[in-house]
Amino acid sequence: MKTSRYSLWCPMFATLLLFSVPAPANAGADETSIRTIELVISERMVQLEENSIRVTQGETIDLAWKSDEPVKLHLHGYDIEFEVSPEAPTSVTFEAHATGRFPITSHGFGGEHGHGDEALLYLEVYPD
């Protein structure tokens, strides 16, 4: 039985085409992945080497907070307010949708009310 050039090339071309199609960028990635960042406040200061957290736009972030005294915190720009106390560590989960540098400030330590003079730390969200 004689085979034509077409019958030889067709299966080879189909195989080549199949393996040359790129996989989607997120193939195999867990779409519900959450990046957890543990933060500890001691003596009214966040215990980090730097005063900022750097994330990428679109990431889902979980800020896991512990504090040696009760404090009400505010993540500016995202309008997220929450309370942390030694008895109740707090986890705040959100998608970093807005880019920029956002301060996290206290709205009162130890049951006091008022706004802290400066940021405890900054959330820096970089474009994807």
Q: What is the mean pLDDT of residues 84-88?
A: 93
| pLDDT confidence tier of residue 5, bands split at 50, 70 and 90 | low
Tens of pLDDT, residue by residue over 27-81, are 444 556 999 999 999 999 999 999 999 999 999 999 999 999 999 999 999 999 9
* CATH numeric code, 35-126: 2.60.40.420
Query: How far apart are the C-alpha atoms of 96 and 125, rounded to whole Å?
Result: 7
The average confidence (pLDDT) of the chain is: 81
- Single pTM value for the model: 0.71
Tens of pLDDT, residue by residue over 93-128, are 999 999 999 999 998 887 666 666 679 999 999 999
| Residue 93 dihedral angles phi and psi, to the nearest 5° | -115, 135
In the block, which residue shows the tokens 């990046």? 35
Query: How far apart are the C-alpha atoms of 113 and 94, rounded to whole Å?
Result: 25
Q: Where are the domains of the chain?
A: 35-126
Containing 14, the helix (H) or strand (E) segment is helix 5-20
